[in-house]
Structure 1
Amino acid sequence: MLFAPFVVCVLALALDRMLGEPRRLHPVVGFGRLAAVVEKTLNVTPGTPRRSLWAGCLAVLVLTGPVLCLAVWATVVLDGLLLLLAQAGALWLAMSLRGLAEHGRAVAEPLHEGDLAGAREQVSRIVSRQASALDEQGVAAAATESMLENGADAVFASLFWFVVAGIPGVVMHRMVNTLDAMWGYRNPRFLYFGRAAARLDDVMGWVPARLTAFTYTVLGNRKLAWWCWRNQAPQWDSPNAGPVMAAGAGALNVRLGGPSPYPGGMKQRPILGGGQDASPASVESAIKLVSHGIWLWLGILLAATVLVFLVVWVKWC
């Protein structure tokens, strides 16, 4: 059915809004636990570059191969309504718009009420920074950055890969993104072992990240967002997070980046955006930017589907 991708996206977003993330037996959580076991089993020589690199490649293949085969099998075997429901379920489990908003507001609300300790506790659940060393502006900046970056990873990239490759695409991206989040660290343990997952995540996230940056630019302060994207994004160490966060910071007219405390010490990061300091309001604005972006994507998908329908209809007539 020509309108199936649009219908699936709407159903998945409706499930996300009504149910949110499953509290128990979430497949992404289960996959993460399995990945931790595989990593402990295979990453036995972290100080040996070649062996660690090959072990990391094997780990990615062992974890993603069977699940990807199952996703392809489901796409081939299922048909009609069953396939549509399976697609909606897979997309719902892969993305997390409601969860994103809940995590962001869990930081913004105590911060707005002057409860810095509570805000630090909440932000420590969504970022890897040393939350105890963050001041109010630092907590707000960390939460705002998380909303912008995870909007790309957990929402827009999932929609993109579903439209491009159906269940196999969205499932593969979610697995690779999860492995990168767990293993993509430049420390002695994961420097080589996590490289395969990190590079694969860079490849799968390249187009969605730039579409997300474009979305933020269109919906926010266009001139500043475009300038930040062009001039500040190349300074960021991540090829995909750079455009997303730079464009998002510019779109919101908020200053992000800069020095940040991590468990391993202070990390010097480039300044992104400009104008106002991060605040509870900037966290809420980032959430709204992602939400409005979803409506834009759905509108474009519907318009493209209608256009294809009209072209086919004219040819048949």
Structure 2
Amino acid sequence: MTMAGLLIIAMVLDAILGEPKWLWQRVPHPAVLMGRVVGWLDERLNTGNGRKAKGLLALLLLILLGYLIGQILAAFGPIAEIATAAVLLAQRSLVQHVQKVADGLRMSVQQGRRNVAMIVSRDTAAMDGPAVARSAIESAAENLSDGVIAPAFWFLIGGLPGLLIYKFVNTADSMIGYRTPRHEQFGWAAARMDDLLNLVPARLTALFIALPAGAVGQWRLIRSDAAQHKSPNAGWPEAAMARAIDVALAGPRTYDGVTQQFAWVHSAGSRNIGPIEIDAAITRLWHAWAVMLGAAILLCLLTS
């Protein structure tokens, strides 16, 4: 079976089953294990002088580990490949987490804040309803790229080794890829590699959001908005989502008590938003997932 055929089954399984709590309550999730490896390398290597070189060494070790684990698992055959890919895709769990924010906002702003705090790193205590909704929608768009489209893309390109390398690098970026005194040097290599690995998937995600929404005609504006983001990649799905559901995203936000003035994405879009707009974003998540599935089916037909 081709990689595209394996991906089709894995995507459908993930969409149906999501994250089985009964399993991950008994054994650690692979993402948790990856995090432990990154944490161990951070503790052992991120000391003394030459931290940028040590960070590069840590990255190379993670890439090697991802490649070796991927090769070992692939040797067990297509069932192991499908199961591993399904576990490492995150469409259904992403939708569930974002839906919880919409459901919370329908109860109260306070519950919306509590639920969105589970998926974003910014300060949530003083958020009003629209700020909660914006945060959820932005997280939905960015995690569609990081958690669904990019893993699927690298599985198509490199099989399980490609998928696991991506997940190790992405996990490392989420843990050590920050410009803090401790991680600015040590996490530099992981952050730059994550930027590289997401270069194509982030733009594909924007396209997959824009296509079914009829927003491809606004591609020049999507690209312009994406360029204002501090990340070379995260702005693409966010800008496409803003146009797809006609809302303004980004804007001022607070981290660790400090308010930062981010540019508005699609500033002409609605700013008085809430659970209805989150629901619309969830619909776009499924539409983008369907486009990715359709692309995999087409590729399977062409290569079989």
Q: TM-score, normalised by structure 2?
A: 0.91
> Which residue of structure 1 aligns with residue 82 of structure 2?
88
Deviates more, 1:248-257 or 1:56-65: 56-65
Superposition pairs of residues 16-165 of structure 1, within 5 angstroms: 16-22=14-20, 23-24=24-25, 25-45=28-48, 51-75=50-74, 78=75, 82-113=76-107, 115-165=108-158
Do the aligned residues in 1 keep the contact of 2:248 with 2:264 (CA within 8 Å)?
A: yes
Deviation at 1:308, TM superposition (A): 4.1
| Alpha-carbon distance between aligned partners in 1 of 2:99 and 2:250, rounded to the nearest angstrom | 20
Residue 188 and residue 142 in structure 1: after superposition, are their counterparts in 2 closer, same or farther (change >3 A)? same
State the partner residue of 1:207: 200
Alpha-carbon distance in 2 for matches of 1:231, 1:70: 40
Question: CA separation in 1, counterparts of 2:216 and 2:160?
Answer: 37
Post-superposition Cα deviations, 1:1-29, rounded to whole Å, max 9, x if no partner, equal 3xx33432232123323432243310111
How far residue 121 of structure 1 moved from its aligned partner, in angstroms, is 1.3
Displacement of 1:159 in angstroms is: 0.9
1:176-198 deviations in Å (ceiling 9; x for gaps) = 11111111212212111111111
Cα 1:217–1:227, aligned 2, differ >3 Å: closer, same or farther? same
Which residue, 159, 172, 180 being the options, matches 1:179? 172
Q: CA deviation at 1:221?
A: 4.4
Larger Rg: 1
Q: Is 62-71 or 205-214 further displaced after alignment? A: 62-71
Identity %: 35
Cα displacement (A) at 1:230: 2.4
What amino acid is aligned across from residue 96 of structure 2 in structure 1? E
Aligned partner of residue 131 in structure 1, secondary structure: coil
The question of whether the paired residues in 2 share the 8 Å contact of 1:252 and 1:286 is answered with: yes
Q: Deviation of residue 90 (structure 1)? A: 1.9
Say whether 1:284 aligns with 2:279: yes
Structure 2 unaligned blocks of 5 or more: none
1:250 CA displacement = 1.2
| Structure 1: gaps of 5 or more residues | 310-317
Q: Which residue of 2 aligns with 1:314?
A: none
Separation (CA, whole Å) in 1 of partners of 2:174 and 2:221: 25
Structure 1 segments (4+ residues) deviating >6 Å: none
C-alpha distance after superposition, 1:218-237 (max 9, x if no partner): 12241674243222111111
1:224, 1:253 within 8 Å by CA — same for their partners in 2? no
Tell me by how many angstroms 1:212 deviates. 0.8
Alpha-carbon distance in structure 2 between the residues aligned to 1:100 and 1:182: 19
Q: Which residue of 2 aligns with 1:315?
A: none
Deviation of the 1:116 alpha carbon:
1.5
Q: CA RMSD in A?
A: 1.8
Output the CA distance in 2 between the equivalents of 1:307 and 1:29. 36
Aligned mate of 2:9, from 2, 7, 11? 11
> Structure 1 residues 307, 92: closer, same or farther in 2, change over 3 A?
closer
